[in-house]
Structure 1
Amino acid sequence: MDLQWLVPLGGFLGIIGAGAWKLIDRADKKRESREAAVIQTLKDRIEELKLQLARVTRQLKQRTRAGDKWREQLVAHDIKPDPEAWPEDDDE
């Protein structure tokens, strides 16, 4: 039996395997770069949301302090505030 066809077949399969490996490696690198971009975008968005939350919290505290001062002025001048007590937040 003549087995000379095994050498070219082995070379051909080696070339096909190397090409497939190269394509898979290239696809993996693209996927990894996209994942890194998504992760960075999400980190940036988290930072933006943290800053926004801090700003809103600061504004809420300022308004609450101002409301407390107005309420104290009403009570100091014997004016009954309406409502008598601050409403409680349902979220907390």
Structure 2
Amino acid sequence: MTLGDTALITAPTDRAAAVVRTALDGLPTTRLTDPATVTGLLPVSDTLGPATLAYLTPEDLRPPASTGTPTEQLPPGSRGAASPVGGGGRDRRGGERS
């Protein structure tokens, strides 16, 4: 993300951040958001974007209109749809669960 002449770049680990910092150090801000530049300098398998950052006023943040169809509210801590279904003691990769 860029704001003026400053860029905010995130990485999932300190090691990844060091790789990104080394590869992109010294580039002008305009090149930091150029997919061709970034994929040419970093070991990137895919890109997503571009993205746009936008802000709304508090008045614009309101719940969506009701569709008339009730939804189920799961109790706190419930895994609901995220719970594994069947599988006969195997995880999603087919291996035995421990």
Does TM-score exceed 0.5, indicating one fold?
no
Q: Which gives a bigger RCO, structure 1 or 2 (Cα 8 Å, sep 6+)?
A: 2
Q: Which bracket does the TM-score occupy, shorter chain normalised?
A: under 0.3
Higher fraction of strand: 2
TM-score of the aligned structures, taking structure 2 as reference length: 0.20
Q: TM-score, normalised by structure 1?
A: 0.21
Larger Rg: 1
Identify, as 1 or 2, the structure richer in helix: 1
